[in-house]
Structures are given as structure tokens and as C-alpha cells.
Amino acid sequence: MADQIFPEPTVGVFIFNSNGELLLLQSHKWPGRFVVPGGHVELGETIEQAAIREAKEETGLDIHDLEFLCFQQFIYDPAFWKPRHFIFFDYAARTDSLDVQLNDEAESHHWVKLEDAFQLSIDSYTRVSIEKYMQRHP
């Protein structure tokens, strides 16, 4: 099925601006869904370092105040563009900038209020992490 030998550890970064808005992306890797920036943890880096690096690579944003939200298991879910087994480590973070510079993984970006995110077609994993964040930050 897949060319994987082991599950892949990945990070997702829920980036909030100074207005309290969340950055959501549209990507060809998650057809028809809004997601957050993220990607693989590379050899030799911590999960937190991966979150900072992935946020910068995919959005051009510097982030701070990392807060672990949760981990989730993703096992060959058809929501992704190819069969993969991921372990997601999701973090919330802050940025002081609104100047998003997308790389080629994202087609567009939107800053949204948390309550408005549920009106969009977000993937189920993003939904779970937003709900966790809202429980901690009512």
C-alpha cells in the first residue's frame, strides 16, 4: 500500500495573530479542506523545533509561545492525497506578523476567528485540535 516502514511523526501549528485569529491554509494535499501549516519532524530536531521550522517554511511567519495541544493518530485516512500513517503533534503558537508568505504547498490562506473556523470545511484533525484549544482558552 504505502512505501512507509514506520509511522511518520508530524507537527501541526495553530498560529494565532494579535487579533486572536487563526491561520488556515488550503492545500492540494488536503483536497477541499482547510488545514494548518505543518509537516515532518526531521532527524536530529525536537518536535518543537519542527513546529517552528515548518511554520516558517510554509508561511514565512516567525512564531513564539508554543503550547502543546494534543497528539492524534492518522492511519491511511483518505482525506490526505496519498496513503500515509502519521502521528500528529499539534501546537498552538503566536505570531506578531500578518505578512504570510506561502510556499508551494499551500494554495491560499485565511485568518479566521475560531468560532468561524467551524463554518469552513476544516479536516477532522484540525477540528479536534481547535476544540482542545477552545477548552483550554474559553
pTM of the model: 0.91
Given a cut of 60, is residue 94 above it in pLDDT? Answer: yes
Kindly indicate whether the domain formed by 8-136 is annotated with CATH number 3.90.79.10. Answer: yes
Decide if pLDDT at 2 tops 70.
Answer: no
pLDDT of residue 114: 93
Cell numbers at residue 114, please? 475560531
Structure confidence at residue 107 (pLDDT): 85
* Residue that has been written with the C-alpha cell 483518505 in this structure: 78
- CB count within 10 Å of CB 82 equals 9
Q: What is the pLDDT of residue 29?
A: 81
Residue 1 predicted with pLDDT over 60: no
- pLDDT tens-digit map of 35-88: 999 999 999 999 999 999 999 999 999 999 999 999 999 888 777 777 889 899
Q: How far apart are CA 112 and CA 32, in angstroms?
A: 17
75 or 24, which is more confident: 24
